[in-house]
Chains A and B, each alone.
Chain A
Amino acid sequence: MTTASPAWRAGGDGHPARGHAIQAALGPAAPATASAAASPSAAGHAGLAPDNQAEPLIRQSADGAAPAGQRAADGPPSPVARPGQRTPRVATPILLASLVLLIAVIVGVAVGPAGLTLPQVAAALATKLPWHPHVAVSPLNAAIVWELRMPRVVLGVLVGCMLAGGGAAYQGIFRNPLADPYLLGVAAGGGLGATIVVVSGGSQALLPLAAFVGAAGAVTLTYLLGSSSGQAGESEAARSGTGSILLAGIAVAALLTAVQTYLQEQHTATLATVYSWILGGLSAATWSDVWLILPYVAVSAVALLVHRRLLDVLRVGETEATSLGVNVRRLRLLVVMAATLGVSAAVAVSGLIGFVGIIVPHAVRLTVGPSYRTLLPVSMIGGAAFLVLADVAARTVQAPDEVPIGVITALAGAPFFLFVLRSRRARQDLS
């Protein structure tokens, strides 16, 4: 068998320079100052690292991480498929993930500082069922289960689903494994919106709306700036589009963060409030929050899911996807719009919860493979389960005090993320 020449490019997903990437991705783990509002989007800076459309010569010499695919192609071809190389069917992973989510939801409803027993929780749950059996339930227990725990768990499901699904979709559409849902300015815009409400002494009820408008507005601004500058490039318009959109995302995030930092400095008394919003959390969850974001999340999730086959086509690059019949610009616009809608809604009620959008899709990618038709739905379900469990940890490890959920996701996420990176490299070295 011949070996592949370097002229054959390999690698559908970008391989950004790793050191930089880790550093950037760790951004949201430790927002040491209040101005770290934009740090979740710092992972987006890593997103600018190579799109891997560069000349192979450059990739070989300058980017040590890049030739993985080439190395792979150079390896001895095995006559039969190795275990784990087959793309698993879609249904089984989705069923398994749903089972995990069910367990997470049960744990989420059953565990809490009030120390209710399982039968008490079950009885409280039963009171709202139609034709429920007559059981004696104290109003307090029913309220704990139905008004405190349930909305929290359900909101965790919606937010986790959106953050992980948005992250997976962004990783696909920008063909970069380190893209996260805050990539195009959602974090900075949401942070600024929330800060404006807090420092101006506006009603807390306005906070979700302001965060949503800020987040969605930032992405719109990014997209308008990025795609209009992209049209100037006459060669391969599709390719230049991604780069300029990511660049515009960085510029917009930097601008909004600067404004937000300035506002904070002018109103230091409200620093703690802004900071706690930035860390994110589900502690104030109510049913009205759930009903508020449910339509957005539902529309967004469905819109992302219908594009999962096209995200797979995009794995061969924007140029080839175009020649295969995909309108890449339209695809990108629709996916970004869908993700922004859902993620902005999630941010509006939960603040900036870091890491879910990166670690969940990667963990899922490692387990079920890189095809978006499995990856996207399983990421959504897995993200929901992860956030519900993280929230359980957030309200129990230091009960009755709560640890900010962003701290939990980062504490669990950072080591895990390093593990994912290491095992990715290990796998590539082996093959």
Chain B
Amino acid sequence: MIGFTELTVSYGHTRALDAVSGAAADGEWLGVIGPNGAGKTTLLNALVRLVTYDGTVTVCGQPAGRLSRRELARLIAYVPQRPLLPPDMTVSDYVLLGRTAHIGYFGFETGTDRRICADILERLDLAAMSRRTLRAMSGGELQRLVLARALAQEAPVLLLDEPTSALDLGRRMEALELVDDLRRERGLTVLSAIHDLTLAGQFADRLMLLAAGQIVVTGPPATVLDGSLLARHFGAGIQVLATDTGDLAIISRRLR
């Protein structure tokens, strides 16, 4: 599990996060939603200590602030919004980077590391292209590849920052279904920032709505995805429709 208390992050004089508290239990998927600039990415960055923060973060019972980089990377795997993908790196080399925290400072990958990565590539249908370079991969494949690298970290907590923003609608669904399958198979705690409110409602167990660096509400999707609440923070045209399958569809209506 991962929990954070009174988390505050400032960029200069701007408060990007203001005393935010929350937690995701073992195996839970917590979706972080909110308009641009609400602090979603900052929250994820703080949890992996990419920005300095005040407050406490606890990962699997350990205070994250006291862990070394290696120890932290064994507990939290992080998929950034726009990963940097060296075009001439091969797929298998890229996934092996995920093993960094398990390899000694002067060491090199062992057969175990390679086997773990091969299994993950197999699971994510990437095994056939393990010798390809990243330049030869499609957007959907790259998305799975970045996920594969995160899984290679074998961390119990997975942070995803807008994991599907680069994908078309069908690919988004596939990608999130994959994350959902993987978290059930591996008992992962998932914390994801997610723009698409409809998808957020379909996949997350609970949603946390952030606005201007503060938590507006945390709760089950049915509670958080409330028409008037969303309209207040995302814009007046937002409407929530219930489909006949029981899903909530969030659309934005033109006002003129």
A→B interface (CB under 8 Å): 1-5, 7-13, 52-53, 56, 68-69, 72-73, 75, 77-78, 80-82, 85-87, 234-237, 306, 309-310, 312-313, 315-317, 319-327, 369-371, 373, 428, 431
Residues of chain B within 8 A of A2, CB atoms compared: 138-140, 167-168, 171
Q: With A75-B136, A77-B137, A324-B101 given, is the CB distance from A309 to B50 under 8 Å?
A: no
Closest CB of chain B to A230's CB: distance in Å?
Answer: 13
Contact of B93 among A53, A312, A321, A431 (CB under 8 A): A312
B103 touches A309 (CB 8 A): yes
Contacts of A73 in B (CB 8 A): 85, 87, 134-135, 137-139, 142
Q: Whole-angstrom distance from the CB of A241 to the nearest CB of chain B?
A: 13
Choose among B69, B74, B168 the residue with the greatest number of A CB atoms under 10 Å from its CB: B69
Q: Which residues of A contact B77 (CB under 8 A)?
A: 323
Give which listed residue, A236, A312, A369, contacts B50 with CB less than 8 A. A236
Proximity bits, B11-48, A CB within 8 Å = 1, else 0: 11000000000000000000000000000000001001
Contact A8 B82 (CB under 8 A): yes
Which of B97, B133, B140 is the one whose CB lies under 8 Å from A85?
A: B133
Given A10-B134, A237-B52, are A313 and B100 also a contact pair (CB < 8 Å)?
A: yes
CB < 8 Å neighbour of A370 from B81, B83, B89, B139: B89
- Assuming the contacts A9-B84, A11-B84, asked whether A325 and B101 have C-beta atoms less than 8 A apart, the reply is yes
Neighbouring B residues of A325 by C-beta, 8 Å: 69-70, 72-74, 100-101, 153
What chain A residues lie within 8 Å of B137 (beta carbons)? Answer: 4, 73, 77
5 intermolecular pairs with C-beta atoms under 8 Å apart: A2-B167, A9-B83, A321-B100, A322-B48, A325-B72
| Neighbouring B residues of A4 by C-beta, 8 Å | 137-139, 142, 166
Contacting A at CB under 8 A, from B121-149, are 129, 131-143
Indicate whether B78 reaches chain A with its CB closer than 8 angstroms: yes
A325 to B139, CA, bound (A): 26
Q: A2-B171, A327-B69 are in contact. Are A8 and B131 (CB under 8 A)?
A: no
Chain B: CB-nearest residue to A234: B52
Task: State whether A77 touches B136 (Cβ < 8 A).
Answer: yes
A81 to B89, CA, bound (A): 12
Q: A315 contacts B134, CB within 8 Å?
A: no
Contacts of A56 in B (CB 8 A): 82
Contact in complex: A370, B50 (CB < 8 Å): no
Nearest chain A CB to B133 CB, angstrom units: 5
Distance, CA A316 to CA B83, complexed state (A): 8
Q: Contact between B50 and A69 (Cβ–Cβ < 8 Å)?
A: no
Q: A1: which B residues are within 8 A, CB to CB?
A: 138, 140-141
Partner among A7, A234, A428 whose Cβ is within 8 Å of the Cβ of B11: A234
B10 CB-CB contact with A under 8 Å: yes
- Contact A316 B97, beta carbon cutoff 8 Å: yes
CB proximity to A under 8 Å, residues B52-110: 52, 68-70, 72-74, 76-78, 80-90, 93-94, 97-98, 100-101, 103, 105-109
Q: Do the beta carbons of B87 and A77 come within 8 Å of each other? A: no
Nearest chain-B residue to A308 (Cβ)? B108
In the assembled complex, the Cα of A3 lies from the Cα of B142 at a distance in Å of: 10
Are B11 and A72 in touch, CB under 8 angstroms? no
Complex partner residue of A10 from B70, B87, B97, B153, CB under 8 angstroms: B87
Nearest opposing residue in chain B for A90, CB measure: B108
Is A323 touching B73 in the complex (CB atoms < 8 A)? yes
**B135 near A431 (CB under 8 angstroms)?**
yes
Q: A12-B85, A73-B138, A235-B51 are in contact. List 13 more A-B contacts (CB 8 A).
A: A4-B137, A4-B138, A5-B139, A13-B86, A69-B134, A80-B132, A81-B131, A234-B10, A237-B52, A323-B50, A324-B100, A324-B153, A325-B74
